Amino acid sequence: MTVPTELTPLTPAEAKALVDQGKAILVDIREPNEHARENIASAALAPLSRIAAGEADAAAGDKLVIFHCQSGMRTASNAGRLAGTCRGEAYVLAGGRGSRLMELTDKRAKPAVFFGGKTRIIDFALSNALNSGIRRIAIATQYKAHSLIRHLQRGWSFLRPERNESLDLLPASQRISETSWYAGTADAVFQNIDIIASYRPKHVIILAGDHIYKMDYELMLQQHVNSGADVTVGCLEVPRMEAVGFGVMHVDADDRIVSFVEKPTDPPGLPGNPEIALASMGIYVFETDFLFDRLRRDTEDPASSHDFGKDLIPYIVEHGKAMAHRFTASCVRSENEVQAYWRDVGTVDAYWEANIDLTDIVPALDLYDQNWPIWTNVELTPPAKFVHDQDGRRGTAVSSMVSGGCVVSGASVRRTLLFTGVRVNSYSALDGAVVLPHVQIGRGAQLSNVVVDRGVVIPPGLVVGEDPVLDAKRFRRTEKGICLITKPMIAKLALPA
């Protein structure tokens, strides 16, 4: 039998179906400590550092082998080696073990997921940069990047070189080696050192593009310069035992980082406030030359996973000067925002809650603040329209956000967020619904506590949110009772004509 030389990508849904049917096994190539913190119960552990030829094949028997890691970077960059460990067919689970946003990221990267009626998640980090006076921006992409790249081309092309502005899209393109994609977050920067250096920046700010928050990066940069730090790390103050899922900064009284612990079981508290911990936001400020030196050192370390949080930051903490910057010192709040707002919308429940919260009378996140606008791709659409005014067939929306191009035709919409171009047909009712662009809601449909993916056509009379058992059979239902509805799920429905 011919030994495979590459891995065939599968979506999380495809991988789950093969495993459920008994046709495949999952093989986790992460290290034992990573597997112990979080794992898929049915996955076999075969650490990349020790995996040998034939090992995966022996574990699989006559089944297919599906490899996975945390983010998909290790599987992608070691595809040939992994394929060689089994004699049969080998696959890679696209995006690692699958985003906690489930099928919402089957066709798009998390930063490209829609949020707030008009924007994408990445628009918040990019708008923060623009509003902070940053005009040179580069975006490294890898996993299912087409939707993200298309959005950036359409919505962020106003940055002009003749005004000393730029937006560089940096997809993984094997620029260093014909066999290497981005092996980690630090490697994504290292592979593009020449592009960054061409602009001759004095400082570089590294951002994660998958969180919802408003922050003035200039204030963090000022602290970095004034402190003389080698790196400044953006941090959130969180209850100590809620920090177990983060990288945690142990700081002294001056907020100098004395140790960095990745996802600790017993997070260190703050001096003078032991029940509060500092969790990393994945935001880092460096002097450019220092960053390049550290990246070159890291890429030569065979034991490194080439990740900022796991490798570079701990090294600098031990051998240099690392300072913590508290989010409360630079978060942007309007007069209507009582507390500093930061959300990781990385699960279906968190995503639903953050969107629905925007329908509150005074939401925790103020999208109406003209002093700190959230920039995005603005589609040309007509105004929203509400039609029919008869008992039982009245187009209404209460405590809801309705975007341009929507038509609510003789339907009831309550505590709901409608993205661009949604049509809600007569006699239907939505309550607690997050409906992504260009969805069609059929007549008489009743939907409660749902997230409906882009372009879904809801059949007439469909009821979701009343029967938990039936909902769980047909859709992705979370522990909190939120149902995610996608096109493939609707296609599989055996509804009577």
Residue range 413-439, pLDDT digits in tens = 999 999 999 999 999 999 999 999 999
- Choose the weakest-confidence range: 6-10, 244-248, 279-283: 6-10
Helices (H), 231-376: 288-299, 313-319, 348-357
pLDDT band at 120 (very low <50, low <70, confident <90, very high): very high
Residues 79, 92 within the same domain? no
**What is the pLDDT at residue 98?**
37
Q: Which domain holds residue 247?
A: 88-352
The answer to the question of residue 467 being in a domain is: yes
Query: The CATH number of the domain where 160 resides is what?
Result: 3.90.550.10
pLDDT tens digits, residue range 55-92? 555 555 667 888 777 555 566 555 556 665 654 444 54
Residue 425 maps to a domain: yes
Strand order in the sheet with 64-68: 8-10, 90-93, 64-68, 24-28, 44-45
Whether 224 and 134 map to the same domain: the answer is: yes
Q: Is the dihedral of CA 355, 454, 479, 144 positive or negative?
A: negative
Assigned domain for 168 exists: yes
Which of 57, 83, 109 finishes a domain? 83
- Higher-confidence position of 142 and 331: 331
For 265-288, what is each residue's pLDDT tens digit? 899 999 989 999 999 999 999 999
Q: List, in sequence order, every residue forming a beta bridge with 431; answer none if it has no partner.
A: 414, 448
- Expressed in angstroms, the distance from the first to the final Cα of the chain is 48
* Boundary residue ending a domain (51, 83, 115): 83
Using only C-alpha atoms, what is the Rg of the chain?
A: 24
pLDDT of residue 76: 56
> What's the confidence (pLDDT) of residue 35?
61
- 432 lies in the same domain as 337: no
> CATH number of the domain that 27 lies in?
3.40.250.10
Task: Name the band, by pLDDT with cuts 50, 70 and 90, for residue 4.
Answer: very low
Is 373 within the bounds of a domain? Answer: no
The structural domain count of the chain equals: 3
Q: Closest Cα partner for 292 from 202, 374, 193? A: 193
Say yes or no: 394 and 274 in one domain: no
Residue 327 backbone dihedrals phi, psi, to 5 degrees: -55, -35
Read off the pLDDT of residues 451-493 as tens digits, 9 standing for 90 and up: 999 999 999 999 999 999 999 999 999 999 999 999 999 999 8
> Is the four-CA dihedral 157, 162, 165, 168 of positive or negative sign?
positive
Mark whether 125 and 146 lie in a shared domain: yes
Average pLDDT, the chain: 86
Does the structure show a pLDDT above 80 at 355? yes
119 and 255 both lie in a single domain: yes
Query: Which of 207, 434, 206, 215 shows the shortest CA–CA distance to 341?
Result: 215
Q: Are residues 60 and 168 in the same domain?
A: no
Domain termination site, one of 83, 116, 145: 83
Give the pLDDT of residue 178.
56
In this structure, the answer to whether residues 270 and 254 fall within a common structural domain is yes
Same domain for 408 and 487? yes
Residues 71 and 94 in one domain: no
Q: What is the pLDDT of residues 444-454, one digit of tens each?
A: 999 999 999 99
Contact 268, 261 (CB under 8 A): yes
- Which residues have C-beta within 8 Å of that of residue 370, sequence separation ≥ 6? none
* Per-residue pLDDT, 1: 32
Q: Which pLDDT band, with edges at 50, 70 and 90, does 25 fall under?
A: confident
pLDDT at 5: 41
Same domain membership, residue 409 and residue 340:
no
CATH number at residue 469: 2.160.10.10
Is 295 part of any domain? yes
Q: What is the pLDDT of residue 93?
A: 42
Q: Same domain, yes or no, for 197 and 120?
A: yes
Domain annotation covers residue 370: no
The whole-number pLDDT of residue 8 equals 61
Residue 5: inside a domain, yes or no?
no
Write down the pLDDT at residue 246: 85
Instruction: Give domain status of residue 369, yes or no.
Output: no
